[in-house]
Amino acid sequence: MYANEFPLDDSIIYLNHAAVSPWPERTAVAVTAFANENLQRGSQHYPHWLGIEQALREQLRQLINAESADEIALLKNTSEALSVVAYGLSWKAGDNVVITSGEFPSNRIVWESLQRFGVETRHADLTQDTSPEAAIIACIDRHTRLLSVSSVQYVTGLKLDLEILGAACRKHGVLFCVDAIQSLGAVDFDVQACGADFVMADGHKWLLGPEGTALFYCHSTVMGRLALRQYGWHMVEDYHNYDGPHWKIAHSARRFECGSPNMTGIHALHASLSLIHEAGMRNIQQQVMDNSRFMIDFLSRRQTRYRLLTPIEEGRYAGIVTFVPLQESSESLYGMLLEQNVLCALRGGGIRFSPHFYTPRKKLFQALELLD
Of the pair 182, 262, the CB lying nearest ligand PLP is at 182
Report whether 306 contacts 326 (CB < 8 A).
yes
CA-to-CA distance for 331 and 82, rounded, in angstroms? 32
Residue among 159 and 371 whose Cβ is closer to ligand PLP: 159
Q: Which is nearer to ligand PLP, 24 or 157 (CB)?
A: 157
How far apart (Å, rounded) are the C-alpha atoms in residues 151 and 154? 9
User: Measuring CA to CA, which residue among 46, 80, 68, 25 is closest to residue 274?
Assistant: 25
Q: Which is nearer to ligand PLP, 146 or 250 (CB)?
A: 146
Minimum distance between the CB of residue 18 and ligand PLP, rounded to whole angstroms? Answer: 7
Please report, for residues 100, 175, 250, 290, 308, the alpha-carbon distance to residue 285 in angstroms, rounded to integers and kept in the order given.
25, 28, 36, 8, 21
Cα–Cα nearest to 208, from 350, 14, 53: 14
What does DSSP assign to residue 262? -
CB of 343 to ligand PLP, least distance (A): 15
- Burial (CB count <10 Å: 0-12, 13-18, 19+), residue 244: exposed
Residue 337 CB, shortest distance to ligand PLP, in Å, is: 19
| CB 276, min distance to ligand PLP, A | 18
Q: Which is nearer to ligand PLP, 107 or 156 (CB)?
A: 107
- Closest contact distance (angstroms) between CB of 98 and ligand PLP is 16
Instruction: Give how far Cα 187 sits from Cα of 67, 154, 157, 290, Å.
Output: 19, 14, 12, 12
CB of 214 to ligand PLP, least distance (A): 6
Q: Give the separation between CA 315 and CA 301, rounded to whole angstroms.
A: 20
95 with 120: CB under 8 angstroms?
A: yes
Any residues with CB less than 8 A from the CB of 293 and at least 6 apart, and which?
A: none
DSSP 42: T
Q: How far is CA 176 from CA 77, 91, 119, 168, 171, in A?
A: 19, 16, 17, 9, 11
Identify which of residues 72 and 371 has a Cβ nearer to ligand PLP in the complex. Answer: 72
Give the shortest CB-117-to-ligand PLP separation in angstroms: 22
CB 107 to ligand PLP: min, Å: 6
Read out DSSP for 149-184?
EESB-TTT-BBP-HHHHHHHHHHHT-EEEEE-TTTT
The smaller minimum CB distance to ligand PLP, of residues 104 and 189, is found at: 104
Minimum separation from the CB atom of position 106 to ligand PLP (A)? 4
Which of 149/371 has CB closer to ligand PLP? 149
Give me the residues that bind ligand PLP (CB under 6 A), please: 77-79, 104, 106-107, 150, 154, 179, 181-182, 202, 214
Contact 265, 209 (CB under 8 A): yes
Q: Report the residue number, 103 or 197, with the smaller CB distance to ligand PLP.
A: 103
Of the pair 106, 359, the CB lying nearest ligand PLP is at 106
Q: How far is the CB of 211 from ligand PLP (least distance, A)?
A: 7
C-alpha closest to that of 88 among 162, 178, 3, 198: 198
